[in-house]
Structures are given as structure tokens and as C-alpha cells.
Structure 1
Amino acid sequence: MSVQKDQDKFFLSISQGEKKPFDFLRVLYDGCIAGGAAGVVVETALYPIDTIKTRLQVARDGGKIVLKGLYSGLAGNIVGVLPASAIFIGVYEPTKQQLLKSLPENLSAVAHFAAGAIGGIASSVVRVPTEVVKQRMQIGQFKSAPDAVRLIVANEGFKGLFAGYGSFLLRDLPFDAIELCIYEQLRIGYKLAAKRDPNDPENAMLGAVAGAVTGAVTTPLDVVKTRLMVQGSQNHYKGISDCVRTIVKEEGSHALFKGIGPRVLWIGIGGSIFFCVLEKTKKILAQKRHSKAETQN
């Protein structure tokens, strides 16, 4: 009975914020700051691995993987990653809290999954053009982000910046939803077992597990997204289903898992860094707010 009471108390604190009134603007602000910081740190630290993954996925059989210019396009990409990550977590956090209040306590996973998908949709307007420019630069099509944007629009129209948008959503919506859901559920389980909040190394460990598992499961979706985004005006693939059929026919079904090694490594380490920085930043913001409130009183 005591264990059940502890569980009830825990889920009550999660779903109702320990009876504190819900401050939408504060949660939105904290989410944007924490998300932006986490996104930039991860992107800067792991960009070379992402570049290798992209080049592996684009290479046809026998193609040579170039290891030069692994940071190509980083500066321009961060310009997009910062607002995209800020929007993603900025939308995710208040959406998650509202859903946790509205749904039964035993459906917390549904709240996390849905909030992750909604955050992904909101940030996709920034993330897709950023991803298109980044991947074109990673494979050497353009030398700078401004040139990439200018030439893509000139040659393919504005819609060229949203090349592969459908496949991006097909990959990133389930990815965002699954990763956030796994991470949040792992934290819930850990907090119940340890009877305390995870510390920074533990948040990093939980984030790594969530990222690695999600990265492996969604690799085929990532391969399709990459092929559609980098094909430009060549139109080698006519859409998502045609891309899958063509890859399997010409290269075999194993080609759908190209780059799975660096992808799992990248996203596993990325998840570790992202969620550790995210939780740490949220904690710092909360501490600063508490100190300011005490000073005013």
C-alpha cells in the first residue's frame, strides 16, 4: 500500500504540478531557452558524425565516402537549429503539462507521445529548410548557407527548401514522439525506483538510451528523407513510396539501414547531451527565478 501511495503521489505531482497554477508563458519561455541551448550544444558537438551519416546514406554501391569538410555547413545550420530546438521544446513542455492534467494518470505515455509529435510539427517549418541546406552542404553541393538558399530557390523555387517535407515528417514526427516518450517514461520509472529526481549523469544515461533506441528504429525513414532532400532537381525519386521501392530494387533492402551505425552513435550521444543540457538549463532557470523571488520578498 505504501508503494501505491508513493506512486499516486508521484503521478499527482507530475500531472498537476504539485497543485501549483499552470503558468503557460513561463513554461513556454523556459522550454524555448532550454531547448535552444540543448540543440546548439548537441549540433556543435556531433556535427561531424551527422555529416558522415549523411554521406553514407547518399553513396550508391561502391561510392567513396569523403572525410574532408566534416563541419561543412555548421554555422548556417546552427542559425536554424537554435530557433527550431527552441520552438520544439517551447511547444512540447506546455503541451505535455496540459495533456498530463487532462488525461488519466496511467496514460502519461500518451501525453508525452502526443506532445512530442505536436512539438515536431510546430518546429518543422524551421527544421526542414535547415536540414535541406545542411545536407546539401554536407555532400559538397554548396560552399555556404547563403549560397545554398539562393541557388536552391533560383533553381528549384521556394519549394526546394522544403524538399522531402513529407518524408521529414514521416521520420521526425514518430522520432520526436518516440524519443520523448521513451525518455519521459524512463525518468518516471527511475524516479519511482530511486525515490528522487535523476542527477545530471543519470539524465544523460536515460537520454542516451532513448536516443539510441529511437535512432535505430527510425533509420529507414531517415534514409528515405535524406535521399529525397539531396536529390535536388534530378527527381531520381518521385516520392516516398517510389524512393523505398527504388532503393530496395537497385540496392537491396539492407540499403534502408545505411548509416545506422553512425546514426545510433550520433543520436545516442546526442540524446545524452541534449537531455542533460535540457534538464540542467531548466533547473538553472528555476533556481534563478526562486532566488529572484526570495530577493523581492
Structure 2
Amino acid sequence: MAMNARSSPTKSSDELVLRSELWNGRDEPRVAFASVNAEEDKPFNFLHVLFDCAIAGGTAGVFVEAALYPIDTIKTRLQAAHGGGKINLKGLYSGLVGNLAGAFPASAIFLGIYEPVKQKLLETFPENLSAFAHLTAGAVGGAASSLVRVPTEVIKQRIQTGQFTSAPDAVRLIVRREGLKGLFAGYGSFLLRDLPFDAIQFCIYEQLLLGYKLAARRSLSNAENAIVGAFAGAITGAVTAPLDVIKTRLMVQGSANQYKGICDCVSTIAREEGISTLFKGMGPRVLWIGIGGSIFFGVLEKTKEVLAQRHFNSQDSSSFKLD
């Protein structure tokens, strides 16, 4: 099926094949778990794609968090510090284990929702609206994963700023002092930051990846995927930096309730510390997300490749037994 499409002399056919290979990241095996090929007879299996994408997303998310946690801690402490307060560079790995426990399901949910939604939208909308499909899928995936991401982020940042020493203590004391809603502190600001972040980052990544493939007329290596991911992450990290500062301040304030909400947080920061405070921690954030993007998308594509090969071998084995 794909070979017939590849042999066609028309440009549109070539582009269709290259687009169908976007999720694969390689030419073989031709049976990818999330490949969308208009000429493929096998129907789209939502649950199958969701499961495999969840594994790939969770794996990639854990790798990023484990590798770059100290940079994230520095960024959080810079954003949480008021005025010209100095930050503590000790205990940069504080809260890592608890964060990894939340990072896997959060990333799994995001990718598990993002990819099937994206595929369905790409089938529904014309090709020139592919960016809209990527933006929408990113926002939907971000909204779904926020139910796990927000409590994980609240606990992580409270530990990073020295309020608690462990995730179990953080959960117990936050619930005791603030109720269950304390675990979702700053939820609105989180969505304000993460929905555009997820949508923009994955849209930039997917569009650059597609354009690169069409220009090069081949699938990309894992290193090339990582470079594109780093570029997408760095740009998105810089654009959303002020939203990240607001989210951090609302999440770490605890029961003090210094800020009444997003608007009050912005106005208070601007009045008491200056507008430039909204860009605190931008350097570590861009570095963290840029490097994190390269790791995340590199591991993501490699994991998808391994899973695709596993399915390919499984189907070959089944065919052999039937024969």
C-alpha cells in the first residue's frame, strides 16, 4: 500500500506518504502503531494508539524530569523569590522521586490523548489546516493531563522551595491545612500557561518535522528529531515565561493567600516588584525546556520506533503461524 503510494509520480501522493511517516520516524517497519495512511485498509484503532502513545509519552516524560530536575528547581526558586532575595542552591534534587511518580502518568495521559485526537483531526480537516489539528490536540491533551499534572506540580514546587521535605508529608499537610483544593492551587494559572504551551510546542514540533521531511524527502534520524524538539521547546519556553512565573507564585503561596487570583497576582507583582519580575527564571526555563524538548522528543520517537518494531514482529509471527 505505502510502496504503491511512494512509486506514484505525483507530488500530492509523495506528500501523503511523508505525512503518514511523520509519527513513525522511519521507513521500516511499515506497520506503525500510530501511522495514518489514507490507503491503509486496517481501521484506526483508538485504544491501541492510546495505549502505545501513553507508554511512549510516559517514558519520555520521566527521562526529562530525571535528567533536568536541578535546572527546574533553580528556575522555581528564582520565580518564587520576592524582590532581590537570594536563592538556595542546596537540595536541587529535593522532591525528585515524588515528581517522577506523577510525571509518568501525566505524560502518558497527555500523549495518549494527544495523538489519537490529532490523527482524527488530521483525517477530518484539509491538509492546509494541519497546524490547527496540532494546536487543538495539544490543548485537549494538556487539559486532560492537568488533573495529574497540577497536584504533582504543586507538591514538587512546595518541596523545591523548602516548605516540605517529602511528597507524602506535602500531601498530608497540604490537605490538612488547605483541604483537597490545596493540591490544585493555581489550577487556573496552570491551564493559562500549559494549554498554550502544549499547543504551541507540539504544533511547532509537528510542523517543523513535517516541513523538514518534505524538504529532505526522507524520514529523520532520532538526533534530528531531538534538534527539532529542542528548537520548539526553547521558543515555547520563552514565550510562556511570564505565565510560568504567575503559576509558580500561586502554587507556592499556600494558605497565606498573598494573591487572590491571576489578575491580582500580576498587578501585585508589577506594583511591588516591577514588570521585569514576570520574566524571572527565563534563562533556566528556556535552557530546561530546550534541552528537555530534545530529550523528550528524542526518547519519544525512539520509544515509538521500538513499539512499532514490536508490533511488526508480532504481526509477522502471527502470519507465520496462520500459514
TM-score band by shorter chain is over 0.9
Q: 2:206 aligns with which of 184, 191, 197?
A: 184
Match of 1:218 in 2: 240
**Deviation at 1:198?**
1.1
Match of 1:91 in 2: 113
**CA contact 2:53–2:304 (8 Å) conserved in 1:** yes
Match of 2:25 in 1: none
Give the whole-Å Cα distance in 2 for the aligned partners of 1:218 and 1:161. 23
Q: 2:79 aligns with which of 38, 54, 57?
A: 57
Give the whole-Å Cα distance in 2 for the aligned partners of 1:176 and 1:271. 12
Match of 1:269 in 2: 291
Give the whole-Å Cα distance in 2 for the aligned partners of 1:89 and 1:40. 13
**1:67 alignment partner, SS class:** coil
Indicate whether 1:250 and 2:258 are aligned: no
Task: Say if 1:267 and 1:13 are closer, same or farther in 2 by CA, change over 3 A.
Answer: closer
Match of 1:6 in 2: 14
Match of 1:138 in 2: 160
Q: 2:39 aligns with which of 7, 15, 19?
A: 19
Which whole-Å deviations, capped at 9, do the CAs of 1:191-226 have from their partners, x for residues lacking one?
A: 001111111100000000000000000000000000
Q: What TM-score comes out, normalization by structure 1 length?
A: 0.97
Task: Say if 1:8 and 1:35 are closer, same or farther in 2 by CA, change over 3 A.
Answer: closer
Q: 1:174 aligns with which of 196, 205, 208?
A: 196
**CA contact 2:21–2:219 (8 Å) conserved in 1:** no
Q: 2:98 aligns with which of 54, 76, 83?
A: 76
> Which blocks of at least 5 consecutive residues in structure 1 are unaligned?
none
Give the whole-Å Cα distance in 1 for the aligned partners of 2:294 and 2:16. 29
Match of 1:160 in 2: 182
Give the whole-Å Cα distance in 2 for the aligned partners of 1:18 and 1:182. 24
Give the whole-Å Cα distance in 1 for the aligned partners of 2:239 and 2:275. 15
Greater Cα offset, 207-216 or 242-251: 242-251
**Deviation at 1:61?**
1.9
Match of 1:110 in 2: 132
**CA contact 1:72–1:137 (8 Å) conserved in 2:** yes
Give the whole-Å Cα distance in 2 for the aligned partners of 1:3 and 1:247. 54
Match of 2:32 in 1: none
> Which blocks of at least 5 consecutive residues in structure 2 are unaligned?
1-8, 23-34
**CA contact 1:30–1:285 (8 Å) conserved in 2:** yes
**CA contact 2:159–2:165 (8 Å) conserved in 1:** yes
When you count helix as a share of all residues, which structure comes out higher?
1
**CA contact 1:12–1:105 (8 Å) conserved in 2:** no
Spell out the pairing of 1:273-288 with structure 2 (5 A cutoff): 273-288=295-310
Amino acid at match of 1:289: H
Indicate whether 1:295 and 2:317 are aligned: yes
Give the whole-Å Cα distance in 1 for the aligned partners of 2:178 and 2:39. 53
Give the whole-Å Cα distance in 2 for the aligned partners of 1:223 and 1:19. 47
**Deviation at 1:6?**
3.2
Which whole-Å deviations, capped at 9, do the CAs of 1:34-63 have from their partners, x for residues lacking one?
A: 000000000000000000000000111221
| Aligned positions, number | 297
Give the whole-Å Cα distance in 2 for the aligned partners of 1:230 and 1:19. 51
**CA contact 1:137–1:145 (8 Å) conserved in 2:** yes
Which whole-Å deviations, capped at 9, do the CAs of 1:230-268 have from their partners, x for residues lacking one?
A: 000111111000100111111111110000000000000
Task: Say if 1:39 and 1:255 are closer, same or farther in 2 by CA, change over 3 A.
Answer: same
Give the whole-Å Cα distance in 2 for the aligned partners of 1:259 and 1:41. 22
**CA contact 1:153–1:161 (8 Å) conserved in 2:** yes
Task: Say if 1:43 and 1:171 are closer, same or farther in 2 by CA, change over 3 A.
Answer: same
**CA contact 2:245–2:280 (8 Å) conserved in 1:** yes
| Greater Rg by CA | 2
**Deviation at 1:281?**
0.4
**2:89 alignment partner, SS class:** coil
**1:68 alignment partner, SS class:** coil
**CA contact 2:17–2:37 (8 Å) conserved in 1:** no
Amino acid at match of 2:290: G
